[in-house]
Amino acid sequence: MSTDGGTRAWIEVRAAGLRRNLRTIRERIGPGPRMIPMVKADAYGLGVAGAVAALEPEDPWGYGVATVEEGRQLRTLGVTRPVLVFSPLPPGSYSAAVEDELTVCISDLEGLRRLQDAALRHGSTARFHLEVDTGMGRSGFDWRRTGEWRDAVAALASSGSLEWAGCLTHFHSADERHSAATHTQWERFTDAVSSLPTPDGLLVHACNSAAALRCPEYAADAVRPGIYLYGGSAGQGLPDPEAVARVRARVVFTREAPPGGTVGYGATHVAREWEEWATVGIGYGDGLPRRLGNRGEALVRGRRVPIVGRISMDVTVVDISGVDGVAHGDTVTFIGPDGGEEITVDEVAGWAETISYEILAGFTPRVPRVWVDEGDS
């Protein structure tokens, strides 16, 4: 996929930046813990094929996804490493998980039974990790009631066709500074795990990007970084990630606007004096948040310019008054560096009153993802 003059909007993704962000986490946790990069939601919207190609040279232990379909996609790409499916499965998809040799994270006895049934039907052994809910509350066995499920899990796990390969939990506030909750969750988790009749060689893991960077002492046997790899901040006081995604689009029209001239639906921006506007070929139909209308910025020739008026489905207008030489076909940057300036994905998330994850995952299939790998420096 090239980005010649015919491409109206695209996301350029830098493989080397992704790898450097992974290495920042590696330096923090040391050489011991295994790396399970999260590539769910099409690698946080940036394209899973490109992400896997970028990450393979780092020799990760495995990959993390949310759904069985995402796991299958990795197998189709030729990934033979362990693939962990983290979200609870709908009842009908255990069979497909077994078929693709995915490792399923189990939240209850019913799930474990379904997995065993699927494995028996396939005549194979299904690997699972047991999730302990320590406060996230969306999935996992309850840490307060280990006595109620411990023996049943152990009995099922040793009754054939199942391999108990790991235990995990998930922190809810590791992105926050001085969060006592993370320590509390860790204690709940380790208490629960130590009371279980776990098999040898069990993989114990808990840390997302924020926890791996903030509490490397909880890295245990493996970490599961996501957002930081893709250039999103993991939280206050943590090292900034290197930019990975650059969201760009082309100027498709320019005009001089006289005083009183209006732009966009609702005519919410009115030129006070003569202004120069550039219409850029990206809109909310591409995933650029509509909330950026009249509050976000873009980079044109390395300078910050305001987005004026409401964002349309297909185009966005920026005020380029005072930026000389802007021409039809020029590139405008909405996320990422341009010249000496940079708009981070977290800055955009702030304007849109959301988080970097939602911004990245929100870009639509209309926008090509163009991976560039210039090697490591």
Nearer of residues 281 and 362 to ligand PLP, judged by Cβ:
362
d(CA 377, CA 367): 28
Nearer to ligand PLP, 64 or 293 (CB): 64
Burial 311-328 (b: 16+ CB within 10 A, else e): bbebbbbbbbbebeebee
| Contact (CB, 8 A) for 262 and 76 | no
The answer to whether 224 contacts ligand PLP (rule: CB under 6 A) is yes
Among candidate residues 44, 63, 230, 265, the one labeled active-site is 265
Cβ neighbors of 29 (< 8 A, separation 6 or more) are 207, 212, 216, 219, 223
Q: Give 3 or 173: the residue with its C-beta nearer to ligand PLP.
A: 173
Q: What are the structure tokens assigned to 253, written together?
A: 């029209």
Round to whole Å and give the CA distance between 222 and 74.
Answer: 20
d(CA 109, CA 179): 32
Q: Strand, helix or coil at 103?
A: strand
Closest distance of CB 191 from ligand PLP, Å: 20
Rounded distance between C-alpha atoms, residue 322 and residue 333, angstroms: 17
Q: Could you please report the per-residue DSSP string of 162-199?
A: EEEEEEE---SSTTSTT-HHHHHHHHHHHHHHHTS-PP
Q: Which is nearer to ligand PLP, 86 or 141 (CB)?
A: 86
Residue 274 CA to residue 321 CA, distance in Å, equals 8
Does 18 contact ligand PLP by CB under 6 A? no
Residue (233 or 333) nearer to ligand PLP, CB: 233
CB of 66 to ligand PLP, least distance (A): 6
Specify the stretch interacting with ligand PLP by CB under 6 A; choose among 147-155, 226-234, 236-244, 302-310: 226-234
Report the DSSP pairing between strands 103-106 and 126-133: parallel
Catalytic status, residue 94: no
The question of whether 230 is a catalytic residue gets the answer no
Phi, psi of 131 (to 5 degrees): -90, 135
Distance CA(116)–CA(137), nearest Å, equals 25
Size of the site for ligand PLP (CB under 6 A): 12
Do β-strands 103-106 and 83-85 pair in parallel, antiparallel, or remain unpaired? parallel
114 is a contact residue toward ligand PLP (CB under 6 A): no
Sole binder of ligand PLP in the list 17, 62, 225, 336 (CB under 6 A): 225
- The least distance separating ligand PLP from the CB of residue 37, rounded to whole angstroms, comes to 9
| Contact in structure between 295 and 288 (CB atoms under 8 Å) | no
Closest CA to 152 of 197, 114, 187: 197
Footprint of ligand PLP on 77-96 (CB under 6 A): 86
Which of 227, 299, 305, 367 binds ligand PLP (CB under 6 A)? It is 227
Nearer to ligand PLP, 38 or 332 (CB): 38
Give the per-residue contact string, 204-223, with ligand PLP (x = CB under 6 A; - = no): ----xxx-------------
Stretch that binds ligand PLP, among 22-30, 203-211, 261-269, 343-351 (CB under 6 A): 203-211
The site string for ligand PLP over 294-333 (x = CB under 6 A, - otherwise) reads: ----------------------------------------
Residue 185 CB, shortest distance to ligand PLP, in Å, is: 13
Shortest separation between residue 328's beta carbon and ligand PLP, angstroms: 39
226 binds ligand PLP (CB under 6 A): yes
Beta bridge partners of 246: 12
By CB under 6 A, what part of segment 19-48 binds ligand PLP?
38, 40
Our finding on whether 170 is near ligand PLP (CB under 6 A) is: yes
**Binding site residues, ligand PLP, CB under 6 A:** 38, 40, 86, 170, 208-210, 224-228
Q: Which residues belong to the active site?
A: 40, 265
